[in-house]
Amino acid sequence: MGNRQSAAFARDEVFEAIIGSKDTRKRRNLRQMTNANTIIATTAGVLPIHLAIISGNYEAVRDLVSNSRCDVNARCQNRPGLTLAACTSSAKIVKELLKRRDLKVNETSGSSNVTALMAAVFEGPEERTTAERVQVMEVLVNDPRCNCQLKDDDGYSALTFAVQTGQVDLVMTLLQDGRAAKYQLRDLLRECRVAIRVNQEEICGIILQNMSLAHEAHLTHLMQNAAAVATTNNGQDAGQILYLLTVAKTVMRRGPTKLVDSGIHMPPSPRSRAPKVGSVVSLLQDRGKVKRLQTDHGGWTDDMEEVMGRCGIVTSVEPDRDIIVNFLFMESEQRKLQFTLNPDAVELKSKDGFSAVDKNGKLIKVGDTVAIDAGDPITRPRQAAQGRAGRSEQSVQLKYGRVMYFDLSGKAWLTVAGSSVSLAPSTIKLVDSVVCGDGQMVQVGDQVQITPTSSGLESLQTSQFGGWTNRTAKFVGKIVTIAAIGCNCFHKTDRPQCIIQVSDDKALLCWINPNAVKLQLKARLVPVSKSPEEPKSRPFDGSPPVDSNGEVLQIGSVVSFIRNESTVRHLQAGRHWADENIMDLVAKQFPFPVVSIRSDGDVGVDTCAFINDDPELDMAVNPKAITLVSRDNFEALDNEGKVIRKGDTVTLLKDEGEFRLRQIGRGRWIDKLRTFLGRPIVVQYFDREGDIVAVLGELGQLESFNPKATVKTDKVVCHGNVEVAVGGVVRIAVSMAEFQALQTAEFGGWSSSLRGLANHPLTVQKISCKWKITTRSPACVIQVHHDYEYFWINPLAVSVSDGKASGTPEFSDLKLIPCGDLSFEEKLGEGAFGAVYRGRWVATVCAVKHIAVKEIIAGPERDRIVQEAITHSRLVHPHIVQFIGLALERLSMYIVLKCITGFNLEEIVFQHKMSLTEAEKHEIALQVADVIRYLHNDARPKVIHQDIKPSNVMVEKATKQALVTDFGISRMANHSPTNDVNNLTQHFSDSIAGTILYMAPELLNTNSNGLHRTPNFQSDIYALGATLTELYSSRRIFGVIKDMPSLLAKKIHGEPEAIQYVTPTKYQDLLHRSMSLEPSQRPTATELVRSLLG
């Protein structure tokens, strides 16, 4: 009786914490509930998570979701929690649920198997608004786990429900931003038929306009064979199919401006798509609404009132979906009037990615120069926002302008002589040729000669044609090639003219007045080179690209152009040049990183990575035109003997005398360096001599430093003059006003989201400095983690929780990687500890081993995991897979390693994925044996591998070099190979057998207490001998094994059958001794290596 009363009391406490109490302490207790799945009302089967969802209590949902014991997939009346939230709660609660990795997003419910997305479309209370449904659906479809195409038992998808009920906004949510590409064409056509059947032709138009290019190509094929399509299915629905194809044809041929002719009416809302970089938007004219929407999204300023209703171009989309908009893009190329805006505060005005046909049938796109016939009427927009009054329509005589964007009706908006005009594409002409000084028509590719006198060229180079500059003077009298035809559309003049861009033999570009040139050779008459050295594109065979010296390139490598300019131009023939200063990089030998490996064998480089703060470029470069200047995967030791890696933050020695002594022969000394002594820098890369290369004070200023002239920055002083290390726990220690004042640009700047960090423990993830900020006194900044997000903050704004230095000291030797910096591309395999993925750490290609655990990683368990990772990180051997870092989450951890392009010995020996000669096999055997010798003798502390087997030895495809992997990872996952022995006869699998096969026999036996022996050096030698036996013999050690008892019997009592097939035969005795049943008879790793060398 007492137990039932106690349970009832606990149940009532939970109920009150969620529904009836405003006591935050009680709500916080939900985080520590021993049983977060306690049923509130047994008859209804309602759990606390269900009650919190139904009541709309976001705080309770958040606290329960953060409790790992809470089952977020539990059902209430046969409905999963996510489905319940999708049809009854806010988008905020749905988003909170989606934070759980174990959430089953596509779980179905009810007799019809309805998903959460379907429920969001048509279920829920009658008073629920369409806007609320759209918000919930956007949260769901933006989750990569959500499958929009799933259908219920009746064959209805979420899109079908939205179409049938005529909910235009819901249809657009499911199809916009490229989501329509996920559907098959037949499904989209079916939805169009449904729309026509229920008199929703407007929705039919939306579906057709959101189709992908692949859909349109397929649809075009159907239209060309309409008669055949109409007779399919024994003629059923032939009329509807033909009508649908007619409508589709009208949409594709005439565009949205003529949809009304086909009986389809497009939705009036211009916000059918989310704005992206390059989109043109206008700020809403409702001041109150904009001010409200701007809360926590960049805020409101009085200057915004001047641009309400005006159009601007999106120059950036922030990670939190906020957009940066420039409202002067139609008026000036230099001046900017920019605001950070909530995307809900703007209306989309442009038809992004659109191209139109001019009056001559030529294709025109954004950025093209066009001509307007003299006498054509031009409609000017009102200039009220700029304080101008005047007529809305004028007839003016204009000539040349630039296409700035196409509006939603398909009209082209131009800038002509500093004014904005709107015209139908059919009334303008693409400018692809221009009259030069001798009266000849010239076009892109033609060769022309510049006026031979400086005075003559200077007189023609008025401001309308780019003016006279030092660069222009270099072109006097030269024969050059026309690279582009444009116009200075922002120059105010009554007679706007064309301008040509020319390129000399050094690929230097300059804008020139066409009247200053004379035609020399038409493009079509230029002879084609017959040189055998002409660069040709080659099919990519999967091998890594190599530079001009044969050095292998990878993503993250730092390179520079070779010094020969003519060779660079020759090798770059046919490729796009990123900017007109490209040859400056050749002349100055300025470095830049490789950011991608292309399918045609070229590499993508970001030539401006160390020069400016622009978004990352990806310019295609022939690898033979560049040379490697970095030492990839290199590590160095600082002044205190700590390991430094690329991306680490180090501090220059403070003592000038010692610093200059260390720099002798390793870098230069300039007086500017004096102000940076004792200051932090970020290691951008290591040069070929092993020196650190870092940006010093401003972009474009690279300096090299002896690693011994630096000290690794693993601690930083925070509020109260107390040091904190990576892994330490801190709290905000100042007022919000002080916090905001401390958050200057050098420390990441201020945003309203930083307010949410107050009164919460924050874990330090990184210590770095903002190297892209121009400064003479760089300072450290820390990255902290809170509520699944990462923030850069000033360390002087925080204090250590317990008043003393925090963080495990050993963390300074370990690279902790924020989980948000990892991305996953493809699954490479799966083992007992979890899955292995090919992924990226920011831009670096890597292998990511995901290890799932049952409990939150904290306390001693977390320390043990980190210690294992530290052990691996300290292993330095050319044939050990490089350890990159460790990422930790509540229920997961990720081991990040170098990604190897090749195969493991299991795949090579038994699946024949790579051929090896006898010499290559012997070299691999030596390399693997030397790794074990290093682990047993030279590593500090000494390491027992515990799981040596062919599948843990990788062989690089390009070099045939062996690399050993999996160091203690099984143990880190609370899994030891010996733990599999208990039920071997019941659970025989390839993964277990694959480990047991190479395990020393003594590890399979138990002592009087039923415990297995601990792995040791001798057990490693047995596994090594077994692995090398299979390598040399190409046979399984014990032949064909059908079940576990047979395997165990052969291991404990039998002889390894494969040894007799080992070649060369001189190694048979060595491998036999390595696999001796008596551990003391086995050779040491050192002896084994010496025998192989002999």
Give 77's DSSP letter: T
| Start-to-end CA span in the chain (Å) | 80
What confidence category does residue 184 fall into, taking pLDDT thresholds of 50, 70 and 90?
Answer: confident
Using the predicted structure, report yes or no on whether residue 385 has a pLDDT greater than 60. Answer: no
**Cis peptide upstream of residue 761 (ω within 30 degrees of 0):** no
pLDDT at residue 539, rounded to an integer: 42
Mean pLDDT value across residues 870-885: 84
733 against 805, higher pLDDT: 733
As its CATH architecture, domain 902-1093 has Orthogonal Bundle (1.10)
Using the predicted structure, report yes or no on whether residue 69 has a pLDDT greater than 70. Answer: yes
pLDDT at residue 711, rounded to an integer: 93
Instruction: Out of 237-251, 661-675, 845-859, pick the least confident.
Output: 237-251
How many CB atoms lie under 10 A from the CB of residue 741? 13
User: Helices (DSSP H) in 179-310: which residue ranges?
Assistant: 185-197, 201-209, 213-224, 226-230, 238-254, 287-293, 304-307
pLDDT at residue 710, rounded to an integer: 93
As its CATH architecture, domain 356-430 has Roll (2.30)
pLDDT at residue 1023, rounded to an integer: 94
- Show the tokens assigned to 459: 């007189």
3-state secondary structure of 158: helix
Closest CA to 314 of 349, 281, 272, 270: 281
Do 427 and 359 form a contact (C-beta atoms < 8 A)?
Answer: yes
How many CB atoms lie under 10 A from the CB of residue 333? 11
Name the amino acid, one letter, at 285: Q
Cα–Cα distance, 419 to 491 (Å, whole number) = 9
pLDDT at residue 232, rounded to an integer: 45
Using the predicted structure, report yes or no on whether residue 420 has a pLDDT greater than 80. Answer: yes
- HSE on the CB side for 660, CA within 13 Å? 8
pLDDT at residue 415, rounded to an integer: 87
713 against 195, higher pLDDT: 713
pLDDT at residue 306, rounded to an integer: 81
The H or E element spanning position 587 is helix 582-588
Cα–Cα distance, 1012 to 362 (Å, whole number) = 80
pLDDT at residue 33, rounded to an integer: 56
- Show the tokens assigned to 150: 């799933």
Instruction: Out of 84-93, 218-227, 490-499, pick the least confident.
Output: 218-227
Do 404 and 363 form a contact (C-beta atoms < 8 A)?
Answer: no
Residues 6+ apart with CB under 8 A from 46: 39, 40, 76
Using the predicted structure, report yes or no on whether residue 1062 has a pLDDT greater than 50. Answer: yes
Cα–Cα distance, 662 to 1080 (Å, whole number) = 50
Instruction: Give the chain's length.
Output: 1094
User: What confidence tens digit (pLDDT) does each residue in 637-667 have?
Assistant: 888 888 888 888 999 999 888 888 888 877 7
Using the predicted structure, report yes or no on whether residue 269 has a pLDDT greater than 70. Answer: no
How many CB atoms lie under 10 A from the CB of residue 67? 18
What confidence category does residue 252 fall into, taking pLDDT thresholds of 50, 70 and 90?
Answer: very low
Per-residue burial over 96-130, b = 16 or more CB atoms within 10 Å of its CB, e = otherwise: bbbebeebebebbbeeeebbbbbbbbbbbeeeeee
Average pLDDT, the chain: 76
Using the predicted structure, report yes or no on whether residue 210 has a pLDDT greater than 60. Answer: yes
Cα–Cα distance, 604 to 596 (Å, whole number) = 5
Instruction: Out of 345-359, 485-499, 838-852, 996-1010, pick the least confident.
Output: 996-1010
- Show the tokens assigned to 941: 């502390």
Do 327 and 337 form a contact (C-beta atoms < 8 A)?
Answer: yes
* Angle, alpha carbons 721-726-727 (nearest 5°): 110
As its CATH architecture, domain 819-898 has 2-Layer Sandwich (3.30)
**Phi, psi values for residue 834, rounded to 5°:** 145, -165
pLDDT at residue 990, rounded to an integer: 40
User: What confidence tens digit (pLDDT) does each residue in 766-786 have?
Assistant: 888 887 777 777 889 998 877
pLDDT at residue 918, rounded to an integer: 92
Using the predicted structure, report yes or no on whether residue 720 has a pLDDT greater than 60. Answer: yes
User: Helices (DSSP H) in 686-763: which residue ranges?
Assistant: 736-742
pLDDT at residue 961, rounded to an integer: 93
Using the predicted structure, report yes or no on whether residue 1034 has a pLDDT greater than 90. Answer: yes
- List the beta bridge partners of residue 784: 764, 791
Mean pLDDT value across residues 84-108: 87
pLDDT at residue 295, rounded to an integer: 76
Mean pLDDT value across residues 309-313: 88
How many CB atoms lie under 10 A from the CB of residue 421? 21
Instruction: Out of 422-426, 624-628, 677-681, pick the least confident.
Output: 422-426
Using the predicted structure, report yes or no on whether residue 280 has a pLDDT greater than 70. Answer: yes
Is 854 known to sit in a ligand binding site? yes
1001 against 55, higher pLDDT: 1001
Mean pLDDT value across residues 34-44: 53
What confidence category does residue 265 fall into, taking pLDDT thresholds of 50, 70 and 90?
Answer: very low
Closest CA to 1025 of 1063, 978, 993, 1070: 1070
Do 167 and 121 form a contact (C-beta atoms < 8 A)?
Answer: yes
What confidence category does residue 868 fall into, taking pLDDT thresholds of 50, 70 and 90?
Answer: low
Instruction: Out of 141-155, 270-284, 367-381, 1058-1072, pick the least confident.
Output: 367-381
Q: What are the residue boundaries of the structural domains of the chain, listed by start?
A: 1-71, 280-348, 356-430, 433-523, 558-628, 636-712, 715-813, 819-898, 902-1093
Question: From edge to edge, which strands make up the β-sheet containing 685-686?
Answer: 685-686, 692-695, 702-705
- List the beta bridge partners of residue 369: 402
User: What confidence tens digit (pLDDT) does each residue in 10-27 have?
Assistant: 445 555 555 544 445 444
Do 582 and 507 form a contact (C-beta atoms < 8 A)?
Answer: yes
pLDDT at residue 1082, rounded to an integer: 94
pLDDT at residue 906, rounded to an integer: 92
pLDDT at residue 578, rounded to an integer: 41
pLDDT at residue 320, rounded to an integer: 63
Question: What's the predicted TM-score (pTM) here?
Answer: 0.36
- List the beta bridge partners of residue 785: 763, 790
What confidence category does residue 814 fall into, taking pLDDT thresholds of 50, 70 and 90?
Answer: low
Using the predicted structure, report yes or no on whether residue 733 has a pLDDT greater than 80. Answer: yes
Question: From edge to edge, which strands make up the β-sheet containing 649-652?
Answer: 680-682, 649-652, 710-712
Q: How far are the Cα atoms of 14, 188, 194 from residue 231, in angstroms, in the given order? A: 64, 20, 19
What confidence category does residue 583 fall into, taking pLDDT thresholds of 50, 70 and 90?
Answer: low
Cα–Cα distance, 434 to 182 (Å, whole number) = 45
- Show the tokens assigned to 253: 């041929």
pLDDT at residue 924, rounded to an integer: 96
Find tokens 């269900």 and name the residue.
Answer: 50
Percent of the chain with pLDDT over 90: 13
Residues 6+ apart with CB under 8 A from 364: 355, 356, 357, 358, 370, 403, 412, 425, 428, 430
Mean pLDDT value across residues 540-566: 80
The distance between the two most distant Cα atoms of the chain, rounded to a whole number of Å, is 109
Do 264 and 202 form a contact (C-beta atoms < 8 A)?
Answer: yes
Using the predicted structure, report yes or no on whether residue 966 has a pLDDT greater than 50. Answer: yes
Cα dihedral sign, 844-849-850-853 = negative
Residues 6+ apart with CB under 8 A from 99: 65, 788
Find tokens 């000038």 and name the residue.
Answer: 656
Mean pLDDT value across residues 807-822: 62
Q: How far are the Cα atoms of 37, 397, 682, 714, 1077 from residue 460, in angstroms, in the given order? A: 82, 23, 49, 61, 94
pLDDT at residue 1085, rounded to an integer: 94
Do 559 and 605 form a contact (C-beta atoms < 8 A)?
Answer: yes
Which CATH number does 433-523 carry?
A: 2.30.30.1060
Do 954 and 962 form a contact (C-beta atoms < 8 A)?
Answer: yes
pLDDT at residue 467, rounded to an integer: 83
Using the predicted structure, report yes or no on whether residue 615 has a pLDDT greater than 60. Answer: no
Cα 1067 from chain centre: 49
Mean pLDDT value across residues 1069-1074: 94
Cα–Cα distance, 450 to 512 (Å, whole number) = 9
At the top level of CATH, which class does the domain 636-712 belong to?
mainly beta
Mean pLDDT value across residues 1021-1033: 95
pLDDT at residue 864, rounded to an integer: 57
Most confident of 133-142, 362-371, 899-908: 899-908
Cα–Cα distance, 445 to 448 (Å, whole number) = 9
pLDDT at residue 509, rounded to an integer: 76
What confidence category does residue 258 fall into, taking pLDDT thresholds of 50, 70 and 90?
Answer: very low
Mean pLDDT value across residues 286-314: 82
Helix then strand then coil, % of the chain, to nearest 5: 35, 20, 45
pLDDT at residue 1024, rounded to an integer: 96
User: What confidence tens digit (pLDDT) does each residue in 856-867 have?
Assistant: 444 445 555 666
Mean pLDDT value across residues 995-1007: 78
Using the predicted structure, report yes or no on whether residue 283 has a pLDDT greater than 50. Answer: yes
How many CB atoms lie under 10 A from the CB of residue 569? 18
Find tokens 């509540």 and name the residue.
Answer: 890
**Phi, psi values for residue 354, rounded to 5°:** -90, 145
Domains 433-523 and 636-712 share a fold: yes
